[in-house]
């Protein structure tokens, strides 16, 4: 029972990070209909800036550096959207998707050129002290990760469904030209949404990499898992994306803990993606291009 609870806690923690990434992917998709394959790389790059520049070179307190890192992620989202995505949107969904792959490759290589990094565990605003309960325990960092995801989900759900900003996003996604005609600031709202997505990517990088180590591919598998959850929600439903992320995190953790065959836990994620695309009606259509803006 103790082992089961320990694996469950670990799975929920990893699932919470998957959820953070999938929330950012879904938010960006809802306004621009772009599947951002560079989302995980954005989070890793922000974590590099946090560790090597803000904490390492400048010596800032971890809390201050963490807040600034969210700003780095937001700025990265703005630059990618305005300088790289917007100019090719009129060329179609495939060109845009390829552009996000190019961004992923650049952000993966750039840290190697700037810092020549070694795998390290980065600092966290949360303590690693373990709180004992039910014959097992969870670290404050694990608990904090789950709490942040729940709070972010509630906040984004309210923002997108209960506010004028959320209604504007829906209008822009469905008919960018019509939204512009009625006076909505399409470019400003789109850029703000990419900034929000970039900040969530940076937050996911900080929380996940503390549990593992900082390297260029830290969030690659996380992004794949998060895309599975995003597809489950049709790239539009935050709740399904979060539930799918938590489910994948728990399944992966149990696979690592109970299955001796190497690679089986990873295979679960890919099988889940294929099953969703084949068996769940309407998920393929969610990936189709919408009117350009």
Cα distance from N-terminal residue to C-terminal residue, the chain: 54
Kindly report the pTM of this predicted structure. Answer: 0.87
- The helix (run of H) or strand (run of E) holding residue 190 is helix 186-211
Which residues have CB under 8 Å from 154's CB, separation 6+?
A: none
Rounded Cα distance between 111 and 216, Å, is 7
pLDDT of residue 289: 44
Rounded Cα distance between 252 and 7, Å, is 9
Which candidate, 101, 109, 43, 54, places its Cα nearest to that of 76? 43
| DSSP structure class, residue 115 | T
Which candidate, 23, 19, 9, places its Cα nearest to that of 245? 19
In the chain, domain spans? 19-219
Query: With the C-alpha atoms ordered 80, 196, 241, 158, is the resulting torsion angle positive or negative?
Result: negative
Per DSSP, the three-state class of 217 is coil
Q: pLDDT per position in the chain (293 positions), as tens?
A: 677 888 888 888 888 888 888 888 888 888 888 888 889 889 989 999 999 999 999 999 999 999 999 999 999 999 999 999 989 888 878 889 899 999 999 988 898 888 877 778 888 888 888 888 767 778 899 889 889 988 998 998 898 888 888 888 888 877 777 888 888 888 888 899 999 999 999 999 898 888 777 776 666 667 777 777 777 766 777 888 888 888 888 887 887 777 776 666 667 666 766 676 666 655 544 444 444 44
Rounded Cα distance between 243 and 258, Å, is 22
Residue whose token pair is 């890192």: 69
| DSSP structure class, residue 260 | -
pLDDT of residue 215: 75
């Amino acid at each position: 029972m103790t082992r089961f609870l320990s694996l469950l806690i670990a799975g929920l923690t990893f699932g919470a990070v998957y959820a953070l990434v999938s929330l950012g992917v879904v938010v960006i998709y809802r306004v621009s209909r772009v599947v951002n394959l560079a989302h995980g790389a954005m989070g890793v790059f922000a974590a590099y800036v946090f560790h090597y520049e803000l904490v390492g070179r400048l010596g800032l307190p971890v809390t201050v550096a963490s807040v600034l890192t969210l700003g780095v992620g937001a700025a990265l989202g703005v630059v990618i959207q305005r300088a790289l995505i917007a100019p090719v949107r009129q060329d179609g969904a495939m060109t845009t998707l390829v552009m996000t792959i190019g961004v992923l490759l650049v952000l993966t290589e750039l840290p190697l050129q700037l810092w020549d990094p070694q795998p390290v565990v980065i600092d966290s605003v949360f303590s690693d002290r373990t709180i004992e309960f039910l014959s097992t325990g969870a670290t404050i960092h694990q608990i904090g990760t789950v709490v942040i995801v729940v709070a972010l989900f509630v906040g984004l759900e309210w923002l997108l469904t209960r506010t004028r900003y959320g209604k504007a996003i829906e209008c822009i996604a469905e008919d960018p030209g019509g939204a512009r005609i009625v006076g909505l600031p399409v470019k400003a709202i789109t850029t703000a949404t990419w900034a929000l997505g970039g900040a969530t990517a940076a937050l996911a990088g900080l929380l996940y990499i503390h549990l593992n180590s900082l390297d260029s591919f830290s969030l690659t598998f996380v992004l794949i898992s998060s895309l599975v959850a995003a597809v489950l929600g049709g790239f539009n439903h935050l709740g399904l994306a979060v539930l799918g992320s938590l489910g994948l995190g728990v399944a992966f953790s149990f696979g690592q803990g109970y299955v001796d065959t190497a690679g089986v836990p990873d295979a679960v994620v890919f099988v889940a993606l294929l099953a969703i695309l084949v068996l769940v009606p309407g998920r393929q259509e969610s990936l189709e291009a919408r009117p350009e803006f």
